Amino acid sequence: MRWFILSLVLLLTAGCSPLGNGPTTLTREQLEQAAALHLPATAEVLETRYLSFQDSYLTAVLRLPSSDLPQFLADSGFSEPTPGLRAVTNGDLRGKDRQQTREEPVWNPDAASEVSGIEQTSEPLDGLYRKLMIDTGAAEPVIYLVAFTT
């Protein structure tokens, strides 16, 4: 009987370890769904990381032409960005992600010199908390996004 109960517990908790195998990468469509985004065709998804256990935590780096930025923000339900607001930092990476092995990591919001930001953390969108920072000093805006549920 003990073996049966132990086997049942192991079976029910398989794959539920918070230690897991680390983050997964999302497709463009999965990113749009998980973060409640409407990406224009011109948006380039540079990097995504998605962690999920009881809650979900997503980070993404996007690039899109300046001309498409206002429509992207409006279509995705964001307010007007606040100039100078660093809503996202390098510290927003979670767990194993914090130790990047690339020489030049894609996730590096702290390196941006001119920024605008938006925080949707006091008024979540259907239980989804979002914040983003736009590197406005880049030739094409680079958007650092964090979306999570609790």
For residue 13, pLDDT beyond 70: no
Task: State the chain's mean pLDDT as an integer.
Answer: 83
In this predicted structure, what is the pLDDT of residue 116?
97
Rounded to two decimals, the pTM is: 0.80
Q: 142 and 132 in contact (C-beta within 8 Å)? A: no
State the DSSP string of the chain. Answer: -HHHHHHHHHHHHTT--SS-S--BPPPHHHHHHHHT----TT-EEEEEEEEESSSEEEEEEEE--GGGHHHHHHHTT--PPEET-----GGG--GGGGS--SSS-S--GGG-SSEEEEEEEEEEETTEEEEEEEETTSSS-EEEEEEE--
**Has residue 10 got a pLDDT over 50?**
no
CB atoms within 10 A of CB 24: 12
Instruction: Indicate if the pLDDT at residue 16 is higher than 80.
Output: no
pLDDT at position 131 over 90: yes
Higher pLDDT, 3 or 147: 147
Residues 6+ apart with CB under 8 A from 138: 63, 112
Residue 119 has pLDDT above 70, yes or no: yes
| Contact (CB, 8 A) for 3 and 41 | no
Q: Residue 15: pLDDT band by 50, 70, 90 thresholds?
A: very low
